[in-house]
A and B are shown apart, each in its own frame.
Chain A
């Protein structure tokens, strides 16, 4: 009986979500009276996991797993779970983990629930709270199988340090040719820019910005805050910004610490996509814009005047506080 997490890494370094996952898992393991084992794939230095309560690492090093492959990675996690006798397996909510989690669940004949936003409300029966209806509601889900797979929603728990003594074991799962039937041919990643997936802060623009030529305003504010840029659905539909920046119910969900919406009126679908963000700031010329009803802070006025001023103020603030 153990609790297993898949600690995701990229180019050998753990992603921040791996530490959030460890923090969460530590607390769940305590309530179950067990320890936390992490399985890692081609991570170089695993010692960082000890800061967040991981007791044991199953370290997989394999060149065939240099690029992500859902079936093969699911096989790794399944075999790690079997080796450890894990009854609870927790994964994060990155695009890759969401991809492989159902395969892990089927492989282990486990009940799976995604979008989990809190610690189990009860461990017997096993009940967790999760986001549903595109963040317009929560759903308390009971998992009835012996083995349980949970997908933790991003930024729903945070980082909690908890030092542990870490033991490390090299682990060589057996992989077969069928694991590699999907062949990755090419990966294109945006470099030198904060992406929505990694961002703590997102600055988003809507139709109120009048045209793609005005996106410099959004980008400058984002640069000062180390933020990713995003947009509303009409903006991506009009082709002002790429689809990958569309935030909302049919686009990307965003669960950041700070979300700044500029010139976005706040359609119900957009709000659903950003509802899990902690602090929302809205800048809009229309005081009746529905977005003000869900915002924490608002400024009513012309974005073309307010945003450059705010960027300047934040620059000064950062200079004084860095």
Chain B
């Protein structure tokens, strides 16, 4: 292999990226060395098993990925702003829409939500930790390494270009030669391990680690949504694992699962992909629903309306999510009967979702609404998500879908549900729980600017795309002719896209500004909250979360205690030694071996792949022989941390 096959060459933008990557790396290494931060980095972050720190690392990674995926989006919108633009060539455009889709779903939306779940759920259920703290670190590092492996493709070897759905035979060796598609397969495979482990970890955590008195029907809605999400993960992710593995076999070892030679079946890929892919949509939307439930209830000063209806509707949605996958390919020859069945199941999802929308509205009805930034995002969600949902029902009509299929109408629909659902929730949840993570709120005034610029930009960007789609503009095209008449609306759409980019920059500025100037919280209850995570006396919960495990008597326990003026004060005699798990460097090292193995397979260098896999197993066995029962936090240290006066 020659150097110019290994490194991507020939495009000035890529050279720019190379230079900026090298400069950033040098800058980070210089900073860590100059300020002697290596030990701090290793002890505090790389080896941590604290769910709150892992959650923060998930969120930081997700924000970086939002930047990368966002830059991809803006490059696409720049290319499409005017007819017959020469900004990107067709191959480059294919690569960018592929990485945009994959990164936003797998490496941005899901990790962002899992990060918030990590930070919040153990606190909400009154637990000291998750069920498997060590495994939690393995989950994070395999996700992170998978993301990094996928991301380096654009400077080393070349990006995948077969779309985030990677339909065969387009993704085969013949039509997608080179390592690009392998990056997709291996990056997702490694990150998928982490997601499955998270699913098991949090399912057990929520089932087994709840504080005394917290029955299932006293759990906060965000915890409920996480529980349901974890069940979907556990049954959906193995399907992705298999699908990716089969395609890897096709590409690297000459099997014939999805190829046209050897009597393989390309539609099998489409079915397997969406059997995972459709539930995936609910993996990224249900936690969002949970967050909106918390935020709307908190800032309406009311208990969530229809708590049980909310739970049952969520369970129904989870069940349906496995029964609708064919609606992603109505036009690919399933026949009228199959299409009808999947058309009906798809529309049926609208019913429980409608139940939830009305419950949020009734929660606000006669509430004392506070228009904080998290609340604004939640209100924006309701309006915009309904637009996405209604157009979704339009798409669900199989016969009509023949008109919309693969047009910008579809593109607009799923951006309306995913951005207004998941991304709005990520912003809302981040701002809402920011004081729990960092001890101060983000600035509200700047936050409102972010909200308005982003929401207006979002609508300016995507609403015109419904009309472009109805007018026949296909998705995934890199350019279009003057005569098509799509120019003006595309220009409008691009302007909206850049407004969203500006809003992202304001958000980052807000983080910086608030870090410098925001008033520090003195109690743990920054928003006058309702659920247990707000009941810790210190602004940021200590590493052991609760000095004394709370006892729960009903829904919104903490809120009702506050109303009754009966919040218990911690007393020194209540404190007992707390058992905690030790930090471990093994997850980070194991993930590094995964990187070696993945990188070797991407380039079909089997010696390297085998070395990496041996490394993975070596770390597994090493860990098996390690008997570390953790340590106890002394009563004195707890009293010191909680500032209890004797």
Does B associate with A?
no
Chain A residues in the interface with B (C-beta under 8 A): none
